Amino acid sequence: MKLDKRLLQQTGNARRYLVITIGLSVVIGILTVTQAHFMSQIIDGVFLSNLKLEQVSDWLFLLLLAIILRALLVWGSEVAADRAARNVKTNLREKLFSHLFKLGPAYTRSERTGELTNTAGEGIEALDALFSQYLPQIFITVLVPLTILIAVFSADTLSGIVLLVTAPVLPFFMELIGRMAGVLTRKQYKSMSLLSAHFLDVLQGLTTLKLFGRSKLQEKNIANTSESFRRLTMSVLKVAFLSALVLEIGATISTAIVAVEIGLRLVYAQIGFQSALFVLLLAPEFYMPFRALGARFHAGMSGFAAAQRIFEILDKPIASNEAKPTNPYLAFEPNEPLKLEFEQVHYAYNGGERPALQGLSFTIEAGQKIALVGASGGGKSTVAQLLLRFFEPDSGSIRVNGLALGEIKAEEWRKQVAWIPQNPYLFNTSVLENIRLGKQGASLEEVIEAAKLANAHDFIATLPQGYATVIGERGSRLSGGQAQRISLARAFLRNAPLLIMDEATANLDPVQEARIVEATNRLLEGRSALIIAHRLSTVYRADNILVLKEGRVIESGAHHELLAKNGLYRELVGAYRERGDAA
């Protein structure tokens, strides 16, 4: 089983704890030899040389001291290894989350949330046993037997040769078994991730499954996935037990060979009793680290499998939009409306397989409100994703007040944008903290003022704990309109010069929509805005309307001008009216 060098590179501050563990392993080896030396001296002196206890009291004291020191150092080694594991987990978890944030929606939208959650949770935790048990045991398995081997060679060369010849056999069998176990453990880890992802999907869609009577089918699917995971787990455990059995048998046979060889030579007076006893005491200690390594083999393999998946994510290249800007963003005033220019912008999903924008060009003048309309798949949401810097154009350019958007650091640019999605994501925390996402460190007074502007204060005041009320996962304790007004409050609090609205009034009743339209009109004042909508009530307030089809602007103008052209916009308006949208 090959050790990935990147695992050791992740140790960081934990490296000193691993060094301590290695150093203590050497001292433990020396104390093991010392313990065997004094024990053999005491037994030889008392039983063969007829020494009194008073005469061996010094040896007894040193033996007791060696035993105590060895126990303390073993404990200290475990503590150091545990701290190393905790540091590695913290370091790697921070790197993983940081990298996922930098990869952004462009990566996470193609991955299953449950699988990523499993990697960030169980995957990172699997490294605990790897760093606290398996890796330290590898060092112990090298250093302690080496120390004992030197001591045995100094006492009896023939016994040292026996140990030297039998020792490589055990790691050899471990390597053979490890190759087979590695494949099975990776399959087991993937099966566990699949089970986690499937279970999360079922939980999130439980209402829909119940409604359509499909819950029993999903129960069966989860049961099948669980059974597959169980079978793979049993296969991995069989290999782990086989590894432990091989090492146990090998160590026992090797110890027996040493015992027989020592016994025969002792009978024929070819070795002294003290030396023979010294070697016999050390022989089990010589093979003990190999046995311990076998016992921790399964934990090590699980850690390696998890690490492989973690590194697969960390190896994903980060988009260039996280690069440092060549033009400092301080050139913009915080409340100055922005001018945006799209020039022949092309973008395709999945490496060019799905063209979304094809030579898109348009301009949003400072303070202007532009609406994008068109059939689904026309490229409207892609425009928003490009402006939010979740994707980068394949070709063409996007400019902000004359500067290329790609030259502005993404993190700094997003501070100048307020985004109102169709389905705002609300976290399982208080109303106050959800609104505060718009401005870090905002005071309660600022949050309340933003909520009032968003027409949200009145309903928040009726909640059980007001602004301290926890609203549930994804805002499950709020209605759709209430969640939308929380999103508007975030935008008011952010007070950004550019507003992007993605169908913010879809699927709402007239009363809720009227409140949101009123708040939105207030929010639009003095800002540049891009409105992505499927409803007429949303686009009426726009200064200019762009009609998109297959990633291109095919019509543009005011509402009445586009109606007069008798083109796609007029068809869309007819469809809106047929479904009951107000004209």
Q: DSSP string spanning 500-556?
A: EEESTTTT--HHHHHHHHHHHHHHHTTSEEEEE-SSHHHHTT-SEEEEEETTEEEEE
H-helix segments, 104-214? 105-108, 113-118, 124-129, 135-155, 157-166, 169-204, 206-211
The pLDDT of residue 520 is 80
Q: Which residues, in sequence order, are CB contacts of 143 under 8 Å at separation 6+?
A: 22, 25, 26, 29
Instruction: Judge whether residue 140 has pLDDT over 50.
Output: yes
What are the counts of helices (DSSP H) followed by strands (DSSP E) for the chain? 23, 10
202 Cβ contact list (under 8 Å, min separation 6): 209, 218, 222
Residue 433, token pair as written in the block: 């903290």
Q: What are phi and psi of 567, to 5 degrees?
A: -115, -150
Angle (CA) 102 106 112, round 5°: 100
Nearest C-alpha neighbor of 365 from the set 396, 327, 318, 400: 400
- pTM, rounded to two decimals: 0.67
| Identity of the highest mean pLDDT range in 105-109, 318-322, 444-448 | 444-448
Backbone angles phi, psi at 80, to 5 degrees: -65, -40
* Other Cβ atoms closer than 10 A to 142: 15
The CATH number assigned to the domain with range 5-314 reads 1.20.1560.10
**Top-confidence residue, 347 or 203:** 347
The predicted pLDDT at position 348 comes to 87
Specify the 3-state DSSP secondary structure of 210: helix
> In the structure encoding, which two tokens stand for residue 419, read together?
């985004």
CA separation for the pair 451, 528 (Å, rounded): 21
Q: What is the mean pLDDT of residues 357-377?
A: 87
Mean pLDDT of 110-121: 73
What is the CB-side half-sphere exposure of residue 100 using CA atoms within 13 A?
18
161: region left, alpha or beta (phi > 0 left; psi from -120 to 50 alpha): alpha
Residue 582: per-residue pLDDT = 46
CA 243, 248, 252: angle at the middle one, nearest 5? Answer: 150
Architecture of domain 425-495: 3-Layer(aba) Sandwich (3.40)
Could you tell me the pLDDT band of residue 342, with boundaries at 50, 70 and 90? very high
Q: What percentage of residues in the chain have a pLDDT greater than 90?
A: 2
Structure tokens at 509: 């009743």
What pLDDT was estimated at residue 72?
92
Q: Which residue type does 43 have?
A: I
**Of the ranges 99-103, 410-414, 427-431, which is most confident?**
427-431
Report the Cα 447 to chain-centroid distance in Å. Answer: 32
In the structure, what pLDDT confidence band is assigned to residue 343 with cuts at 50, 70 and 90? very high
Cα(254)–Cα(161) distance, integer angstroms = 12
Which two structure tokens, joined as six digits, stand for 15? 């490296």
pLDDT in tens, 485-530: 888 899 899 888 888 988 655 566 677 777 877 888 888 888 888 9
**Domain 337-416+498-509+524-583 -> CATH class:** alpha beta
pLDDT in tens, 220-230: 777 777 787 78
Q: Are strands 369-373 and 528-532 parallel, antiparallel or unpaired?
A: parallel
CA distance 288 to 141: 8
Mean pLDDT of 359-372: 89
Please report the DSSP string for 127-143 in residue order.
HHHIIIIIHHHHHHHHH
Burial of residue 566 (CB within 10 Å: 0-12, 13-18, 19+) is exposed
Q: Is 66 left (phi over 0), alpha (psi -120 to 50) or beta?
A: alpha
Around Cβ 117, how many Cβ atoms within 10 Å?
Answer: 15
User: What is the average pLDDT across 289-299?
Assistant: 78
**Collapsed DSSP state (helix, strand, coil) of residue 395:** strand
pLDDT bracket for residue 330 (50, 70, 90): very low
Length of the chain: 583
- Given a cut of 50, whether residue 132 has pLDDT beyond it is yes
Q: What pLDDT is attached to residue 36?
A: 87
Q: What is the mean pLDDT of the chain?
A: 80
pLDDT of 341 higher than 80: yes
**Parallel, antiparallel, or unpaired for β 552-557 and 544-549?**
antiparallel
Domain boundaries in the chain?
5-314, 337-416+498-509+524-583, 425-495
Average of per-residue pLDDT across 43-54: 76
pLDDT at 275: 85
* Mean of pLDDT values over 323-332: 50
Residue range 212-222, pLDDT digits in tens: 566 667 777 77
**pLDDT (mean) for 272-277:** 86
How far apart (Å, rounded) are the C-alpha atoms in residues 32 and 64?
12
CA nearest neighbour of 430 among 490, 478, 471: 471
Q: Which pLDDT score, from 0 to 100, does residue 68 have? A: 92
- Please give the residue that has the higher pLDDT: either 137 or 326: 137
What are the structure tokens assigned to 391, written together?
Answer: 């994707």
**Same fold for the domain at 337-416+498-509+524-583 and the one at 425-495?**
yes
Q: What six digits make up the tokens of 29?
A: 């080896």
The whole-number average pLDDT for the span 359-375 is: 88
Half-sphere exposure of 92 (CA within 13 A, CB side): 34
What does the pLDDT look like over 161-208, one tens digit per residue?
A: 888 888 887 777 777 776 667 677 777 777 777 777 766 677 666 666
